[in-house]
Structure 1
Amino acid sequence: MSRRQMEVTPDLLLRAYGAGVFPMAESRGSDRLYWLDPALRGVLPIDAGFHLPRRLRRTALSGRFTITADRDFAGVIRGCAEPAPGRADTWINTEIERLFVALHDRRAAHSIEAWQEGRLVGGLYGVALGGAFFGESMFSRATDASKVALVHLVARLRLCGFVLLDTQFLTSHLARFGAVEIPKADYKRRLADALDAPACWHAEMPLEAIEEEITAMRAAAAD
C-alpha cells in the first residue's frame, strides 16, 4: 500500500484496474488515496458456484423491489459512502466519488439500484473491463435491498458474458454467496483471461430474461 504520488485520473484508474490494483481512502474525510494489491483477492463465482439462498431467490423474484441499472449512479455511490449500522466511516472520499462518476460518464463504471415506492433503498456499483467486473461497494436502507441488487448483478453478468466478479476482499457476508479468497498470482491469471473475454455490459435488459436467469441459478436450502 503506497501513498499517492500523482494526480489520479480516470485513465490511470482504468489502467490500474487492468493491472489488478485498486484505490481506497483511509476515511470519508481523507484527502489521500492509496493503491492496494492484496496478497489474497476476494472473488465471487458467477457460474454454478454462486450460492443463492432459496428465500432470497423468492424475494428477488417477488417484485418487492424495482431493480434498475445505471439509473442513479451518483445516488448509489453516495449511499455507499454514508454511515451505516456497524460502519461509522467509509473508505469512499470525495475524490473516489469524483473519479467513479467520471468513469460512469465514460460507461466504464456501472450501478445496480433497488427502489421501493420511488425511493432508492439499496444498490451497488463497480467497474467493468472486458469480461471482468470489479465490485466496489453496496448499501441498503431496506432489508434485503443490497442482496437483491447483488443477485440481479450476477444474473446480468452471466447474461452479458462476464467471467470474473472481483470483490477485492472476502467478507463473511460475501462468503455466504460463495465468495472465496485466491492468491494474487492466481487472480492475475484469471484477470488476464477475463480482460480478453468478449463481454459487454447492457444497462437496458428485459426483466423477463433476468428473472429467468435468477430462476435458473442454483438455490441453497437455507439462507
Structure 2
Amino acid sequence: MPAAMRAEVSAELPTGVRRFAVDALQAEPWRNGAGLTRTVWPHAVDGHDLWRVSVADLPEPAAFSCFPGRVRRSVLLRGPGLVLGAQGASWSFPQVGSVAAYPGELPILAQPPQGGSRLLNVMADRARVTPLLQVDDGPASGLRLPLPSILMVLSGEADIGPAGAAWGTFGAEQGLVLEAGLPGPLSIESRARPLVWALISFQMS
C-alpha cells in the first residue's frame, strides 16, 4: 500500500487518545490576515485557557499577536531558514525540528524564507502550566509518555503504538493527542527516513 494511503488508515485507539493530521484540520485566517492557523489542541479548565497547540502557515513576513502571561514554544515543520525577531532578540530555525522558546508578550516579527514556512506553536499560561518540548529522531521503544501530551511525526513515517500492536502508520505532520488511557509504553518504528518526531507535554504548577 502506498505510504500516503497507509498514513490515512485509522486504528482503534484507547479512550483518551485521538489521532490528528495537520492538513485535515480546519484552517482559519489570522486576525491581521498575514497567515493561517490550524488548532490541534485547545485546553481550558473552568473557562480558563491553560494551553493551546496550533500550526501556523507563514507565506510571507508577518507579525505575531501578543499574548501577555503566556509562554511560547515553537517547532519548525516546513521551510528551513525561518527567523523570528523582537526587540533586539532573534530565534532562527535552520531545519525541520528546530525549537525556540520565547515570551508571549513580545511583538514577534516572523521572516520566512522564499516559499513560506509552517510552525508548530505551543502557548501556555505561565502561572499554571510548564510546557515541555522534546525533539528526537529515529525509532524508539519502551516510551512511557507523560500525560497529558502530544506525540507528532515531523518528517519521515512511523508505526506508533504499543509494542507489537501499532495503532497505525503516521506520516509527517500527523500524531496523537494523549489525555489518558495509555495501556503502557509505546514504540515508534521507522518506515521512512529521515524520521524526526516531537513530544510535547504539560506540567501543572
TM-score (norm 2): 0.24
Structure (1/2) with the larger helix percentage: 1
Bigger relative CO (Cα 8 Å, ≥ 6 apart): 1
Could you say which structure has the higher strand fraction? 2
